[in-house]
Amino acid sequence: MKERLLEFLAYLGMGQTKFEEKVGLSRGLINKIKGNISLDSLKKITNAYPELNENWLRSGNGEMMKSDSTNEKEKEKDSRLISLYNVSGAAGYGSFDEMISKEKIIGQYLIPDFRDIDWMIYVNGSSMYPKYSSGDIIACRVLYESRFIQWGKVYVVATKEQGMLVKRLKKSENEDYITAVSDNKAYDPFDIPKDEILGIALVVGVIRME
């Protein structure tokens, strides 16, 4: 491990002290290496230099630097990861940008059959039962033009006053409103003024735990 690290430093053209400071290793650590280094130190190095082949650093197998094809595959995988946000379907106020923010990400998932998904959230409450139950994870695609609403389908609607609603949308008799319908018959339909709507996202998939 020590020899490979020194080889990598030579590749970088960087001294040991500067490298240790940049990565966040204790000063003089490289000189003290007699076998492998701790997992924490290894992660600090690979986080600072993602182009470094971790397998090579661990075992000496393969090339020192990741190939372009490897980097491209990792980038492609990252681009297909879907973020799950800790935002319930009936909580929070404001637009999607305000409610779906990076600090609320609680996980990222690669789901092959989910394509063109913007984000996933949990369903909260029983208003859409039996279609969706509380605790289900729904995958959503943001709609940028309200004229593309497919009446009768389920959407997540961001509103000024009621936060995020998971409802089946239907045409209202009043052109300035949209009717929100619950699948649970215990909940009455209601109209949402169009000027109260800050964003609409189509629900295109669901993950349900037994």
Distance between start and end Cα atoms, the chain: 46
Q: What kind and span of H or E run contains 194?
A: none
Query: Which amino acid belongs to residue 72?
Result: E
Q: What is the pLDDT of residue 157?
A: 93
Q: What is the pLDDT of residue 156?
A: 94
Q: What is the pLDDT of residue 90?
A: 46
Report the distance separating Cα 45 and Cα 91, nearest Å: 40
Residues of the chain predicted below pLDDT 70 = 68-79, 88-95, 97-98, 146
Q: What is the pLDDT of residue 91?
A: 41
Rg of the chain, C-alpha, whole Å? 25
The answer on 117 and 42 residing in a single domain is no
CATH assignment of the domain containing 200: 2.10.109.10
Report the distance separating Cα 163 and Cα 99, nearest Å: 9
Q: What is the pLDDT of residue 203?
A: 96
Q: What is the pLDDT of residue 75?
A: 53
Extract the tokens encoding 91: 């909580």
Residue 55 belongs to domain spanning = 2-77
Kindly report the pTM of this predicted structure: 0.61
Q: Which of 29, 45, 77 lies at the terminal end of a domain, its last residue?
A: 77
The answer on 138 and 109 residing in a single domain is yes
Report the distance separating Cα 104 and Cα 107, nearest Å: 9
CATH assignment of the domain containing 18: 1.10.260
Report the distance separating Cα 82 and Cα 79, nearest Å: 8
